[in-house]
A and B are shown apart, each in its own frame.
Chain A
């Protein structure tokens, strides 16, 4: 069963002479329960693909199918219950005036849950924060703790597909290890499918089963992680990227 199918996806910003094509004709599929990586340097369009899927980049053409649902301009509420996103910078992705409790409570409320209190408690336990963090504000949390809150928020509607936009690139390596372990545990416990964007090949190889290498808005190569580990990239750009990462 395919969880995500992206066909001939084009994403652009601006119009007329100022038009910038950020993604050009991207094709890939992600199976249910799989973890798929998008790798590339800054400006390669990897994050833009995530934003197009989540509906944050309004100008796109092509086909996006999520869990059998074909997506149009407007996303139905059922979409947000299936797909959630974790952002790159945990310092920017939490409202500075909202406590952890408010962030999670509002999310649960918007998705129509009734037992909000019990669920907030469970979400905090799920991401390994515990109750003493429930009423804290973002400025009272470290980067890793904030990213855990952001992950809890993404998990709140019980999604099937999680879009991860460089979830650890703003964190220290020791914290990165904790968050990556948490993501692995959550995927196993909740049967999640991941689509992860990263510039770090070793992180992608740790989290993902397959990956696509992007350059200048195009996918140049799709390969599995075993091939990556054996340095068997076919496209010259992927090889170059691999060389630089060793």
Chain B
């Protein structure tokens, strides 16, 4: 399997009055043409990892790493201008809530076409055709109507599919999805995941899927990194997640109520301070 992205010793630091806060602490992993899940609780640094790859951490936050290589080229050594060409073009990102990612006063069609024409100097007609094609690819039934609609007329699931369509137009090599389905109902969640799955497989993309939902990730991804306090505590194959060894992963799994296995009391996670101190496990292959 070829390596698309290679991250080594990634740190994200936020200086504050009380001293430097390390949101991500020495994380290393590689991404091939696969679905890589990053799971953890809030504050574990999973979202920061995703943003750091695209260099989207705002000042005063600092990103440090030995290297973040996209097919052998270090993103950290790029100028801001070169980086803009990478964002969207080669690495795309889908955020949690489509409401905040779409411009409320532009029609969806205009936004998709603008996104397309920013990256390829296509004519309006080409952009329109391409946009329709993309909306069809994310299983939107009536793409012509959706092109004319405004974001507020869309449901959450539709909005998220439109976001995915927009992100996929420039044909990126890597898609980073940060909790793309947490704001959606379960039935819609499934549809959105299926669409992402199909696209990743058909186009041979690498997918980084960031989520707090262990079962979802176990179901959907190929490989999972489990993060705790800014570090990777465990790396495992997704279908073996339920055999995970680390007490943190085990604790998270056991604290979930289950339909098929009733329990009087849920297991409560006992946090061991040593987990936060232990060095990060490498997710490199």
Chains A and B in contact, CB within 8 Å: yes
Partner-binding segment picked from B93-101, B114-122, B167-175, B248-256: B248-256
Among A173, A202, A205, the one with the most B-chain Cβ atoms within 10 Å of its Cβ is A173
Q: Does B266 contact A (CB under 8 A)?
A: yes
Within B147-167, which residues are at the interface with A (CB < 8 Å)? Answer: 156
Can you list, as one digit per residue, whether each of B243-281 has a CB less than 8 Å from chain A (1) or not (0)? Answer: 000000001100111111011111111000000000000
The reply to whether B187 and A244 contact each other, CB–CB distance below 8 Å, is: yes
The reply to whether B269 and A177 contact each other, CB–CB distance below 8 Å, is: yes
Residues of A within 8 A of B (CB): 41-42, 143, 172-178, 180-181, 184, 199, 201-203, 205-206, 225, 228-229, 240-242, 244-246
CA distance A199 to B186 in the complex (A): 8
A172 partner, pick from B42, B190, B260, beta carbons under 8 A: B42
Q: Does B214 contact A (CB under 8 A)?
A: yes
Task: Contacts A172-B42, A174-B41, A174-B251 given; indicate if A246 touches B266 (C-beta within 8 A).
Answer: no
The reply to whether B187 and A205 contact each other, CB–CB distance below 8 Å, is: no
- 20 interchain pairs (CB within 8 A)? A42-B156, A143-B42, A173-B41, A173-B214, A174-B251, A174-B255, A177-B268, A180-B257, A180-B266, A181-B265, A202-B257, A203-B257, A205-B257, A206-B257, A206-B263, A229-B259, A229-B262, A241-B187, A244-B186, A245-B259
Closest Cβ of chain B to A59, distance in Å, is: 24
Task: Contacts A173-B41, A184-B265 given; indicate if A246 touches B256 (C-beta within 8 A).
Answer: no
B186 partner, pick from A177, A229, A245, beta carbons under 8 A: A245
CA distance A181 to B262 in the complex (A): 13
Please give, as numbers and ranges, the residues of chain A lying within 8 Å of B142 by CB-CB distance.
Answer: none
Residues of B within 8 A of A (CB): 41-42, 156, 185-187, 189-190, 212, 214, 251-252, 255-260, 262-269
State the 8 A-B residue pairs at the shortest beta-carbon distance, nearest first.
A206-B257, A177-B255, A177-B266, A174-B269, A41-B185, A172-B41, A244-B186, A202-B257
Please give, as numbers and ranges, the residues of chain B lying within 8 Å of A184 by CB-CB distance.
Answer: 264-265
Task: Contacts A202-B256, A202-B258, A205-B262 given; indicate if A174 touches B268 (C-beta within 8 A).
Answer: yes
The reply to whether B259 and A201 contact each other, CB–CB distance below 8 Å, is: yes
Please give, as numbers and ranges, the residues of chain A lying within 8 Å of B41 by CB-CB distance.
Answer: 172-175
